A and B are shown apart, each in its own frame.
Chain A
Amino acid sequence: MPQTVVGVDIGNSTTEASAATIGSDGSVQFLGAALAPTTGVKGTPRNVDGVADVVERALRTAGVAVGDLDVVLLNEATPVISGMAMETITETIITESTMIGHDPRTPGGRGLGVGTTVGFGALAETPAAEPVIVVVPRGVDFEVAAGEINAATRRGVAVAAAILGNDDAVLVVNRLDGAIPVIDEVSRIDAVPLGMLAAVEVAGPGQSIRTLSNAYGLATIFELDAAATRVVSPVARALTGNRSAVVVRTPAGDVADRTIPAGSLELKGENRRATVDVSRGAVEIMAAVERVSPLADVSGEAGTNTGGMIANVRQSMADLSEHAVADVHIKDLLAVDTFVPQEVRGGVAGEVALENAVALAAMVRTRDSGMQAVAAAVADRLRAGGAEDVEVIVGGVEAEMAVLGALTTPGTDKPLVVLDLGGGSTDAALIEIDGSIDAVHLAGAGDLVTKLIDAELGLDNLELAEDIKRCPLGKAESFFHVRLENGTVQFFEKPLPATAFARVVTLDGHSMNPIPGRHSMERIRTVRRTAKERIFVVNALRSLRTVAPGGDLRQIGFVVLLGGCALDFEIPQLIADALAPYGIVCGTGNIRGTEGPRNAVASGLVASYAGRSAGVLVGGSG
């Protein structure tokens, strides 16, 4: 007698269902599918609401009455959850207000000016001797400033340059008898030391300064010996790429590029142990993780930022899974180098430096999942809802089911690797020619990409960062056309919304969301793509090396990408490009030729059940 079954896959963020009828000979006919957001934490009885919802909707699209439902199959969810944290590991400190390198949008004049700093009020009494650099506080009108500078110049005072508090550089320079370099918008202008030798340099539009960003240029101006030149070299480096800058020579002035003692990570492998300092960066951390793998647990040095970071991850995982903290073990760790824009300590103009940071994602293996409890709750709910004879079975391990589902993608064959690119974790499973299956779960996926984009662009808005992750960019150059990120132009019949004008926008196909701030389209695109590469490409290679026979990627024929991030517009290409040298066929899955990268586990559950009930092994019946 044919049976009506529904396979249900409870994921971290979405619950998917496939409805099918299974003939007495084990033949499977898929009728409909549905998906809904997962309710509650995966593997807890709160999942019931989401499950009941998708089962009903899958049956409705299949055109089957709830009362005819025979079997619901649930996946044995992998008992892993993931968490992440970020720690800044460098900071830039300016002492004695030695340097102003804040790159105002509109500096004035061109060239290099060297002289002694003098307050605006004292300019009138300054004798005509050595060249001076005038420091003009906020509140002085541009015409007054220009007038005083002109008057001083006429008296014979060599005014070599000016530093302004207001955004007035162009206005002042336009009113001067002779052009001098002027830097403006120095917010804490009262902190600029007076009576000190200083240099101001302004480059032309699109250029960057040459002298102050060169250690020997500074040595020439300030007549430094070799030892002092070594001391100022961080100053020169900090100013690289700026259009304008000021350097003041003070007795103990310095710019320090300090490494924050972040603490170390202790990696406990099943056979080996390693300790690695977080401030050494992601490459060394990941090398250590690989050396000790398989990981058994990770702890951070007590009393350090790293210690706090790991403790936070552990605590939030414990809260989420309702386990004791002692039961939470970190089974995988992904470290990613990133940089965070932060205000420079000691800066006088709100200078921002990109500080190095390390982002960590941790994968935690919890005790057994509570799937049996979920199954019982689902059975109660569905029986109450009219499916009186329904049986709810926990039908198979997630990774195995995903492989069975993935094999229904047209054009695939064994040996095949499924890469499930989710929100919290990247999961891989290999099925070899003999049908044996091996799986691995790695930390770091879509959520970490969002977090990196948020941090690196300084957005402080995860929703916007998520939008940037998902959608291509454009710039609304007029009300009727948008320059897309590939350089082409899209025209519109109706004027664009006023909020989008002149802004970089995300294009999700229906609407445009303007991105605030001054980031250029190229910069946002670079941040987005490198964030995806640093996580998904790295994790793809990492997971394939783990599951591939003998760690040799060439032994893998096919890689099928599944999960929400496989729907992304560029992640599949980035991974395919990275895998191409190994002769691997890589692409986004198309489950049963119709479902795209969705529904693999649910389809696999049904196929596996059909195979079992017919007493034959089912490979890839579609």
Chain B
Amino acid sequence: MASLVGSRVERKEDKKFLTGKGRYTADITLAHQTYAVFVRSPHARAQIKKVDTSKAEKAPGVVAIFTGKDLADDKIGGLIAGWKIVSEDGTDMKVPAHPALATESVNYVGDHVAVVIAETLADAKSAADMVKVDYKVLKAVVDTESAMDSEAIYKDIPKNLCYDWLLGDRAKTKEAFDSADKIIKIDLRNNRLIPNAMEPRASLGDYNSSTEEITLYTANQNPHLTRLVISAFNAVAPEHKFRVVAPDVGGGFGSKIYPYAEDVVIAWAAKKVERPVKWVAERTESFLSDCHGRDHVTHAELAVKSDGTVVGLKVDTIANLGGYASLFATVTPTYLYGPLVLGLYNIPAAYCNVKAVYTNTAPVDAYRGAGRPEATYMIERLMSKAAMELGMDQAEFRRKNFIKQFPHQQALVHNIDSGNYDAHLDKALEIADYKGFANRKSESESKGKLRGIGFSTYIEACGIAPSAAVGQLGAGVGLWESAQVRFNPTGNVQVFTGTHSHGQGHETTFAQLVTEQLGVPIENIEVIHGDTSKTQFGMGTYGSRSLAVGGVAIAKACEKLIEKGKKIAAHALEAAEGDIEFADGNFAIAGTDKTMNIAEVAFNAYVPHSYPEGLEPGFDENAFFDPMNFSFPAGTHICEVEVDPDTGVVEIVKYSAVDDFGKLINPMIVEGQVHGGIVHGVGQALLEGCQYDSNGQLITASYMDYAMPRADNVPSFDVDYAPTNPPHNPLGVKGCGEAGAIGAPPAVINAISNALGIKHIDMPATPENVWRAAQTATS
């Protein structure tokens, strides 16, 4: 059988998705189902004086109305922050209570106050309008930069400061700066983004009074963790009486990693009313209440020698957490950000200080790249500005400072196991026709356009993550992954993975992997995920981890099957186990033509009529894999833009990406991930900017005002690879899901800065902002 690894196998899941047969949470309708609508705060910050549901309870069709008091009476716990961060002064981070339905205060527009459950959605909506909440409106804290100087939102959290965290060595960094010839400084904002998964969040709770089990169907990337958290911390039901199903999920990008208040409330309410309860977010609710991403204000300085050698880096960031600390909110701007500020450069001394602040805005949590895009944007803008100020070539200045020897222990946390940065830079320079840029620039000038080229040589840490390492850094969980590979007696295979696919194509990639390992035809393999009652405990999908961690677990389970298959084949073929060899799906007695196909072995394993003592029936193995290290994808992205100085419109005319993801299992799927990631990054750089007004009202609460990237905003990308082998990963893979979103924003902004000859422009570089910058640049 020809190997499918490395082949552009068409996605097994596309037939159902492209023919409208995906089955999402909102598509599931259960008998006697009720409909929930959440009463949300119209204010960014207010005390709740009274919630009066009396009139609403009498409205037509109302089944029940619950408030925070009802949850408290049932001892339902609040939402948690899952990663403890310790401040530089040794104190623990400060986290406010986050009840699933607000009791004392509301802290962002869209905060959940009550839930109305009714026979129809229209009834629920009308009754929700009748719930009277008496608010004492307080002055909202909105702005990231001034949050520490504003009135404290929570009385026990002074300066609205969750933590003041330090990574690195201030003294050593100071020495490096003292030795430098030139200090390059930059002030920048990493704009707040709203995830906008195509499928809005949805939850459907179902209580079985016979088994006393709650089932929660939810649009989620991480069903086992959702079950664990809602069981252990919210105390809705014990884990063994709680099933979480994340069926087809239409995109997550991080915003569906964590359970939300609605999941807790819906699961609990289904038991209370003993009927299924369904909630599907409207798009406006998604804008208001999905966790947002990014939102940093950063001052950074780079210390360089006059020959272009970087000797030190200082980063001071204020990260906005929003109104509460969401599940992974505290780690995103610290351990997912701080270590990455060094980029793929050999910078011997550095520190990164992050002050995380609360504001009266939607909670901010992990979003495609989570911390790494913020780090990459900062260092790649700084490197570009440094090259500009030193008068050095953008590519060569970067190359001079690349890490060249591997493994490389960085000054902050990471030990980079593999890479060849010259290789992807060289290939990208060629694909981008860097040499021809000057000519193209002149051509643009003759048309009245300004042309610019921008570089981004990025690295990220993914394949999240070694449990021991993350445990040491404050994680509340281990980040291994699990797999079970089960042969059925007729020889087909079910692969149970603890990861979750919500657009990534696992059903195909993992099947290719199993085909490679076991020699089973791909059409005989089914990948199963997303149901805690079907699959063993797993840690879900995020941080480009599914193949790099979950794929290895699958491979290990396959290895166990092969080992067991050798025993069975030896018995059936009447040979010594040591004489059995396995290749291409067949067990053979070495040096003979006596073989047994793995499907026959499977059947034999379930019909063990003459098994000797010690040979266990069944052909079904599971495995767990805990990685030894993060994986470190890296690459060079080169963006070329043409700016219309009369309007400020930026057209991306050429975009070249050369990435090192290690070995590719399905290059077509990888390409799709790269394309999607770049579009995400272009969206951040040019279009997307979440804006609140000074009262904390979300101005960009619909697609009329929140600009998403579309096909006509991007060119056809030139994508290629320059792989290296990561010694820590048994499959030789690194992860690719977030790379585009990490690499693209600085490439785009560097290109615009280059076109206009300016030192900086903040994201999103909207036409008006670019037009204004062009005015200043030319005047």
* A, B in one complex: no
